[in-house]
Structure 1
Amino acid sequence: MLEDVSAVKRDAETRMKKSIEALKNELTKLRTGRASASILDHVTVDYYGSQMPISQVANISVTDARTLQVTPWERPMLNKIDKAIRESDLGLNPSSSSDSLRVPLPPLSEERRREMTKLVRQEGEGARVAIRNVRRDANNHLKDLQKKKLISEDEERRVQEEIQTLTNRYIDEVDAVVGAKESDLMEV
């Protein structure tokens, strides 16, 4: 009986943590004007017939605050990586040298910063919805346990309140992550 209730709470907390991690992972892909190798994480390149992330076919390093350097492990990949970066939705124009690409990050315009802020808010809302879905699933599981007479109504209500407290804590964490990213984006 207690194992079921504690398992429901543990599962809910684990899934809520994963929602926060997914949000943070998505937000690292949004460009803030500073160079970060993770900016190119979702850009793929054709590598002998299969699509591979650039990080698996080249070394990506940060040379200064606004420049990335991409050095492919195989020289013929240079042009393919260049093309993949240009065609991505990041708005980057790499320049090629003999064995690597320099990828300068242009400063963000005010309009682009506002668009990025809207994207951050959308990602945050997606994380909030995911957390609320976890709460709903946990509460449904508790109702099933109560219907099967494995827990009392009082126990169900008490655990639902604990799950609501957990939900509030993780939604506050989403708000903090989104707020930090927004202020980072609007920084000039």
Structure 2
Amino acid sequence: MSRTQPTHFTPRLVFGSRSYATKGKAKSTATFVPGSKQPITDEAARQEYDKAETAMKTAAEWFRKECASSEVRASGRVTPALLSPVRVKLPSAEKEFKLEELATVGVRDGTTLLITLFDEHTIKHVESALHTCKIPGVVPHRYDDRTIKIPIPKPTVDARHALYAAAKRKAEEMRVQIRKQHSLSVKRGKFEKHSVELEEFQKLTDRYIGEVDKVLANLQKATGAPK
């Protein structure tokens, strides 16, 4: 009597996402997002993140503008933008005025800035602002009651290096400011260790410090200064 050979069963291997049963329903892990990649969902944490980003961005943008002005000075180009940091105080007003709000600024012969005031009574206040702004090479000379001339000398190697050295100090101030904002936000948020919030705030801090470093590196190349 012949025996029936047993049937051998070879299990099929199915590769793909795993599923877990939850109350009769299967939930695929294909849509799971690792904790490190999840966005901040808590509303209070989100608001704190936005505040921190605004403060850090403001610091980085201010530094970017400062370095742009320094790069122009280092290049020897004479443009009205050289005087963009100037702020003028008038006794009749509480706020400080940008120079372009009180005068026109032009360039003569490619080497001299010419300031023509809208109101001659503001000339001494503008002169005071030009002296106190501490822009290298800016020495105002009164031409008449409404006009100030500023001859701009060609920057020397030492002058270019000094511009970079000043920017380097400002860069460190911005880094400190950004880190302080990070610490303040984390302290206010009271986030748990290894939380998504802590990781995202650290990424934010690293990003804006990186921007400051990049701007400084570009200025270093433009001025030819040693690091």
Q: If the TM-score is normalised by the length of the shorter chain, which range does it land in?
A: 0.7 to 0.9
1:59 counterpart residue number: 104
**2:59 alignment partner, one of 19, 28, 47:** 19
Question: Which has the higher mean CA deviation after the structures are superposed, 79-88 or 27-36?
Answer: 79-88
Post-superposition offset of 1:82 = 5.4
CA RMSD across the alignment: 3.2
1:5 counterpart residue number: 45
1:159 alignment partner AA? E
1:105 counterpart residue number: 152
The 3-state SS of whatever aligns with 1:71 is strand
TM-aligned CA distance change 1:78 to 1:5, over 3 Å: closer
Unaligned runs of 5+ in 1: 147-152
Matches within 5 A, 1:150-165: 153=192, 157-165=195-203
2:50 alignment partner AA? R
1:26 alignment partner AA? E
* Identical-pair percentage: 25
Post-superposition offset of 1:63 = 4.8
CA contact (8 A) 2:107 2:113 kept: yes
- Is 1:35 aligned to residue 82 of structure 2? no
Q: Which one has a larger percent helix, Structure 1 or Structure 2?
A: 1
**2:213 alignment partner, one of 171, 175, 179:** 175
2:221 alignment partner AA? S
Post-superposition offset of 1:42 = 4.3
Post-superposition offset of 1:181 = 2.3
The 3-state SS of whatever aligns with 1:59 is strand
2:103 alignment partner AA? A
Matches within 5 A, 1:47-86: 53-63=98-108, 66-75=111-120, 81=126, 85=130
For normalisation by structure 2, the TM-score amounts to 0.63
**1:89 alignment partner, one of 110, 130, 134:** 134
Aligned equivalents of 1:129, 1:81: Cα separation in 2: 33
For normalisation by structure 1, the TM-score amounts to 0.74
CA offsets 1:8-43 (integer angstroms, 9 cap, x no match)? 221211111111122124334533332232432444
CA contact (8 A) 1:62 1:68 kept: yes
Aligned equivalents of 2:89, 2:54: Cα separation in 1: 36
Post-superposition offset of 1:106 = 0.7
TM-aligned CA distance change 1:10 to 1:68, over 3 Å: same
1:119 alignment partner AA? A
Unaligned runs of 5+ in 2: 1-40
1:150 counterpart residue number: none
Post-superposition offset of 1:62 = 3.9
CA contact (8 A) 1:45 1:80 kept: yes
